[in-house]
Amino acid sequence: MNLLQQLQQFGQSVWYDNLQRNMLGKDGELATMISEHGLAGVTSNPSIFEKAINNSQDYDAQLAALIRQNADLDSRDLFFALAIDDIQHAADLLQPVYKQTKKRDGYVSLEVSPDLAYDTEATIAEAKRLAHRVDRPNLMIKVPSTREGIAAVEALIAAGINVNATLLFSVQRYEEIAQAYIRGLRQRIQQGLSVDGIASVASFFVSRVDTLIDKLLDEKIISATPEQKDIIEQLKGRVAILNAKAAYAIYQTLYAESFADIAEQGGQSQRLLWASSGTKNSAYSDVLYIDSLIGPDTVNTMPPATYQAFLDHGKPTETLRQGMSDAAGQLSLLAELNIDLPSACQQLEDEGVQAFAKAFNTLLAVIEKKMA
């Protein structure tokens, strides 16, 4: 049993934050990762597809064929045609995992257009179109967890569509998304519809939090009092992990208190998925955000370098609940440094939406260039 497979012993599923055409096929890289490493899911986003399509010729033949078939297709239409093909193949490869885990794992995620992040109705409409086109039970539609995204998540769950609620940074927004998921399931029950097999994850971003907060802590050190310097030393490189643990504490409370009746009807909890788990600060361990957040009913979606690093030298042992009860209290120390964590998380959400929209626009420009 390799180190990645050992994470399953602690209730954590490993998903892969990468998808490109050369990974697919019955004997391809993805199939090997599923069979040999215990990989249980795949996530994608506009940045991933931009790199896959821009940095290879793997999509050129299909792109040319699509243009020949219908010259009126624009770059957005062509992108989704290419992406859906990849998503369908990945979903088919993960179908055995989906069945073996009784619909808990085995999912592949496809994100709605990032430029719809602040439009609830447009997000819902595109998510439904994509779900219909992909036509795989183990598809998750990725929806940015903006304020407008909360209502979209609720509506899509009520419609029976699996959702990956992404770009979560704050504990408060996580709780809002979790409540939206539960409301969506309750709507189905009230309508006499089944909740069995409906799945969702809440993608809670970690490393980006430390990138921003560490910078703010460094700015405070020059004028800090001795007591404040102690706080800075205590929190440097730890806020992201504390933030994630605080979210997990809410997850445990929420599903213990208000989910029993839904669970009786086959409903499953919306697991926290640790996203942005690649270490961005070279001073920290390259598996910091894996080793520190291992615990039951969670998922960690790993980018390629982090995946290989953990496979090589990860430390699979339960760590998520260690110090969890103190996490919120430690985070409150930021206020003594005049650092507003909720505001920082809102900044990260805004920047995340902008970054994905920029990657999406770059992707469309690449396709337009290839079209020409």
User: Helix 341-371 vs helix 60-69: angle between axes, to the nearest 10 degrees?
Assistant: 70
Kindly state the tokens that stand for 158.
Answer: 């009520």
- Are the CB atoms for 250 and 171 separated by under 8 Å? yes
Give the Å distances, CA to CA, from 370 to 71, 234, 325, 335.
Answer: 13, 51, 53, 51
Q: SS3 string of 33-90?
A: HHHHHCCCEECCCHHHHHHHHHCCCCCHHHHHHHHHHCCCCCHHHHHHHHHHHHHHHH
Tokens 């391809």 belong to residue = 28
Contact indicator for 110, 141 with CB cutoff of 8 Å: yes
Q: Which residues are catalytic?
A: 142
- List all residues 6 or more positions away from 252 whose beta carbon is below 8 Å from its beta carbon: none
Closest CA to 299 of 329, 264, 271, 332: 271
Burial class (CB in 10 A: 0-12, 13-18, 19+), 185: buried
